Structure 1
Amino acid sequence: MGYKVVITGTTGMVGKGVLLECMDHPSIENILIVNRSPLGITHPKVKEVLIEDFFDLSSVLDELKGFDACFFCLGITSIGQSEASYTRTTYDLTINFAEAFIDQNVKSIFCYVSGAGTDSSEKGSSMWARVKGKTENRLLEMPFKRTYLFRPGYIQPLRGIKSKTQWYALLYMIFKPIYLILKHFPSAATNSTNMGLAMINSLDGKYAKSILENKEINELAQQ
């Protein structure tokens, strides 16, 4: 029997990359994707449920039962947001989902996509880093079998994945030749495929580190 996983944020670059790897991987048996808008992927492993509000999960609680892990790839940019607004859409939303998930799946694994530079002290000058740090710290307090905090720096999209944000997509096009050099330095960058493989390879709960930066993501992806 393979693993059963829930993935959020599959309409975004990271989540889409994780989904593609899970669809192809023989260790993954079932995938539930939870989105606000339809992804439009049909695959025998995949079931999609849509919700209007991630703060009201009552309609999908039964759907969330019976899973080994959640790959939480949902996230937004902090640009143009107040700290209160960003906290609601990052900390409050994530913890609300994590609490609902663990209620349905005791001893499951939770993989959270954070970011390089996250502030575990919650006291630094960078607003987004403080909020991400607060989110990470709360997740670590929750009784999951293991919690893995992914802190990628630069992520190169592979397998034809493109960012929905126009200027991000342009940035990735510009950096693609540079990534051909950076990929030889595991600490400098990672890619969407390695993000997915690292999450899949974390499912046995044996990887020792809870915080994974580029180097650890690339390392775990190759195990």
Structure 2
Amino acid sequence: MKIKAIITGASGMVGEGVLHECLLNPDVEEVLIVGRRTAGYTHPKLKEIIHPDFFDLSAIKDQLKGYNACYFCLGASSIGMKEKDYHHVTYDLTMHMASILADQNPGMTFCYVSGAGTDSTEHGKMMWARVKGQTENDLMRLSFKAAYMFRPGFMRPTKGLKNILKGYKFLGWLYPVFKVLFPGRVSTLQEVGWAMINVTRQGYEKPVLEVKDIIKLAHSA
């Protein structure tokens, strides 16, 4: 199966890591980055759309047709944000774009980067976890061929990439220790990218992927 993927959030750590794996993988034949600023990459199979307003995609809607995967890595930190504002930039933004993609590409596999600890009940104490849980739940109700919710924990960054978060730079050397102490909570960013590609090709037994599922999928090809 040849994959034509849309990636959002490619100027962030996770999105850049997923993009990196897609560009290396021979089964991914085309990648479209959609972002508010350039990701700074050039590659023969890469296209890029710079679009400032993800709440109004009418100008680029037709350019989003013809893809069979979306790796949605766009996200915002909840630190210092009120729930209403975080809900707007997380739930509203994601659902707006996902709804358009589902209409344009009914055969699409949609992968959403959520996070370990996301609250599927939508009623827990953690604000970010409730919002992410609602986003996950409603994404799975859209008319995609399949939708998978990725819940990574700590990810060892991919060496050589430019958007590694400071905390991950400082703690990356502890990955072998974390792997032993918390095997169900850590993976590599490379494994997240591999898992998204593999789930597009072969699917998975459940729609919500915790860290152990991500690692299993990453090495299942």
Could you state the TM-score of these two structures normalised by the residue count of structure 1?
A: 0.94
**Is contact 2:103–2:143 with CA below 8 Å preserved after alignment?**
no
Q: How many residues align?
A: 219
Which 4+ runs in 1 deviate beyond 6 A? none
CA drift of 1:159 comes to 2.5
Question: Residue in 1 aligned with 2:178?
Answer: 182
2:175 matches 1:192: no
**Is contact 2:117–2:129 with CA below 8 Å preserved after alignment?**
yes
Question: Residue in 2 aligned with 1:60?
Answer: 60
Letter matched to residue 171 of structure 2: F
Question: Residue in 2 aligned with 1:105?
Answer: 105
**What is the Cα-based RMSD across aligned positions, in Å?**
1.4
Structure 1, unmatched stretches of 5+, are none
CA drift of 1:160 comes to 1.9
Could you state the TM-score of these two structures normalised by the residue count of structure 2?
A: 0.95
**Is contact 1:109–1:205 with CA below 8 Å preserved after alignment?**
no
Structure 2, unmatched stretches of 5+, are none
2:44 is paired with a residue whose SS is: coil
Question: Residue in 1 aligned with 2:20?
Answer: 20
Q: Distance in 2 between matches of 1:108 and 1:205?
A: 13
2:5 is paired with a residue whose SS is: strand
1:66 is paired with a residue whose SS is: coil
Question: Residue in 2 aligned with 1:11?
Answer: 11
Matches within 5 A, 1:32-43: 32-43=32-43
Q: Could you list the per-position Cα deviations for residues 113-159 of structure 1 after superposition, in whole angstroms to 9, with x for gaps in the alignment?
A: 00011011110111000000000000011121111000011112113
2:75 is paired with a residue whose SS is: coil
CA drift of 1:163 comes to 4.0
2:215 matches 1:212: no
Q: Could you list the per-position Cα deviations for residues 63-105 of structure 1 after superposition, in whole angstroms to 9, with x for gaps in the alignment?
A: 1000001100000100010000000000000000000111110
2:41 matches 1:45: no
Identity between Structure 1 and Structure 2 (%)? 50
CA drift of 1:186 comes to 4.0
Q: Distance in 2 between matches of 1:79 and 1:206?
A: 34
